Amino acid sequence: MGNSIVKEQKVYILDASAILFGFTLTEGHQVTCREVIEEVRFGGAAPYRATLIKEEARAKIVEPKEKYVKIVEKKIKEVGEIGLSEADIKLLAIALEFKDKGYQPIVVSADYSVQNLSLIFNINIEKIIHRGVSGKIRWVSYCPNCKYAGGVFKGGKCPVCGSRLKRRPGSLSFK
Ligand SMILES: [Zn+2]
């Protein structure tokens, strides 16, 4: 036994935090979606842009099939998860699509909502925050619904519209 087993190919699906932290490829492929690049470009702190340009070249931008986006949206409604952006939904859809094709997708994210949905879909996750980040992360809360931003993430609700806040790295100091 053994020689007839074909090892599944790993595909890492990167969210904005993975790109901001400069997640480095060890094996397999790296992909992301257009919305993530935009999220980092317009929402990320200026010092990360150099990293972004570097990482962007490595991560292939893919667009999920509508069929998979619908599956993700349906599941989100079922479980009542409201902290997901369009970028998050697309990443999960990409993960499902790769899984269907026989790959081994791994969602790389620091976001709790994304991690939660990945687990519900039985997709492997890599929690970027535990992956050798040598520095102090200062988190900034933002609302995926009305774009409110500010303060430190406490898992709370948006003071403007009441949606569940998400977080992203606001600054990082290497000391
Ligand atoms: Zn809001």
Q: Write out the residues surrounding ion ligand 1, Cβ under 5 A.
A: 143, 145-146, 148, 158, 160-161, 163
List beta partners, residue 31: 13, 60
Q: Would you say residue 42 lies in a domain?
A: yes
Domain count, the chain: 1
Is pLDDT of 107 > 70? yes
Q: Indicate the pTM of the whole model.
A: 0.69
Residues 9, 127: Cα–Cα separation, whole Å: 20
Task: Work out the pLDDT band at 37, boundaries 50, 70, 90.
Answer: confident
Cα 157 to averaged position of ligand 1 atoms, centre (Å): 8
Q: Residue 34 sits in a domain of what CATH number?
A: 3.40.50.1010
As a whole number, mean pLDDT of residues 119-136 equals 70
Cα of 175 from ligand 1 centre, angstroms: 34
Residue 137: inside a domain, yes or no?
no
Query: What is the secondary structure of 126-172 as a DSSP string?
Result: EEGGGS---SEEEEEEE-TTT--B-S---S-B-TTT-PBPEEEEEEE
Query: Mean per-residue pLDDT for 25-35?
Result: 80
Tokens describing residue 13: 């699906």
